[in-house]
Amino acid sequence: MNINWYPGHMKKTIESLKNMKAQCDVAVVLLDARIPVSSYNPLLDEVLTSIPVLMLLNKSDLADPKETQRWIDYFNGQADTSAIAFSATSKLNEKKLTEALENSVKDLRKREAEKGMEKRKLRVMVAGIPNVGKSTFINQLAGKKSAAIGNRPGITKTNQWIRHHKAFDLLDTPGVLWPKLDPPIRGRHLAYTGSIKDEIMDVETLAFELVKEAMKKFEAPMMARYNLTETFEDPVAVMDAIGKRRGCLIRGGEIDYTKVSHLILDEFRAGKWGPITLERADDRSEL
């Protein structure tokens, strides 16, 4: 299942970010803690040169906390990069965020202090793929609804400065993907977690692939969610069992695969299967 989604505004966004970088002191890149590799846009590598980067592992409440810590340790070991966990559903720990940002720009602060400059507000670029939680993050910091929020990708369309916080000026940027989502597993992971519009997807195939991957990597929480105790040979049999258990049926008692597929995807995305990390730090070279 190959997935590609690259609206025209996304190409323009990458170019605009390159131009805006000179106005920023540090970049915050939001990642989905469940898929830290797939939720990072490799095109940002050419944007974020010569600027400190703080990786914010968002939706950490939906991920395995041990794996999230392993990812934080990995990012903290990279040059000019650090990382912290974050959950948009919890109250933002501003002290933790402030400390992480200030640590990222300590060399800049030192240079400015040596020049006799007073400490000033930081200019922070906020970047990330669609539907990763940028707008919620910004609104929590700003204390008001400064950025549009939605549970579907592609809400923010243009760069905009948010200046309501006492310590930061925030540059909100549109969520961007890249033209070819290789290897295919990255496209699937993005689609599982809702970063690609369902309207362009075959949701039945997508749910099938999710169940197939779950059977290999995290079968127990999926089975527990739907009170399934049988042994299944293939993903279709699991979808059939879920459909019968949840009443996803059409006339004649046949399985309504569209309905059961939406059910599976919606519940996985909402964390109702439990905290699950699709991409382990130890497996990053295979992704």
Residue 78 lies in a domain: yes
Do 132 and 43 fall within a single domain? yes
Residue 75: inside a domain:
yes
Asked whether residue 271 is domain-assigned, the answer is: yes
Instruction: Kindly state whether residues 147 and 68 are assigned to the same domain.
Output: yes
Verify that 97 and 27 share a domain, yes or no: yes
Q: CA–CA separation, 69 vs 224, rounded Å?
A: 25
* Angle CA 140–188–125, to nearest 5: 30
Report if residue 181 sits inside a domain.
Answer: no
Rounded CA separation 96/69 (Å)? 15
The CATH number covering residue 267 comes to 1.10.1580.10
165 domain residue, yes or no? yes
Q: Kindly state whether residue 80 falls inside one of the protein's structural domains.
A: yes
What distance in Å separates the CA atoms of residue 201 and residue 196, rounded to the nearest whole number? Answer: 8
User: Is residue 16 domain-shared with residue 124, that is, in the same domain?
Assistant: yes
User: Residue 151 corresponds to which tokens in the numbers above?
Assistant: 């549970």
Regarding whether 137 and 13 lie in a shared domain, the answer is yes
In the chain, the amino acid numbered 78 is Q
In total, how many domains does the chain have?
A: 2
Residue 189 within any structural domain of the chain: no
Radius of gyration of the chain measured on its C-alpha atoms: 20
> Which residue, 130, 155, 172, sits at the end of a domain?
172
Residue 194, in any domain of the structure: no
pLDDT of residue 5 exceeding 70: no
Q: What is the pLDDT of residue 177?
A: 80
User: Which is more confidently placed, 180 or 118?
Assistant: 118
Average pLDDT, the chain: 88
**32/114 same-domain check:** yes
Rounded CA-CA distance 122/105 in Å is 9
Report the percentage of the chain scoring pLDDT > 70: 90
Summarised one tens digit per residue, pLDDT across range 102-139 is 999 999 999 999 999 999 999 999 999 888 988 888 88
Same domain, 25 and 160: yes
Q: Indicate yes or no: pTM above 0.75.
A: yes
Q: What is the pLDDT of residues 154-179, one digit of tens each?
A: 444 578 899 888 888 999 988 888 87
Find the helix packing angle between 257-269 and 203-217, rounded to 10°: 50
In a shared domain, residues 22 and 158: yes
Residue 213 CA: distances (Å) to CA of 103, 172, 188, 210, 222: 38, 34, 10, 5, 11
Instruction: Give the span between the Cα atoms of 210 and 156, in whole angstroms.
Output: 28
Give the domain range for residue 124.
8-172
- The DSSP code sequence of 223-270 is HHHTT--S--SSHHHHHHHHHHHHT-B-TTS-B-HHHHHHHHHHHHHT
Euclidean distance between CA atoms 61 and 84, whole angstroms: 13
Say if residue 27 is in the same domain as residue 156.
yes
Residues 260, 239: Cα–Cα separation, whole Å = 7
Residues 269 and 141 in one domain: no
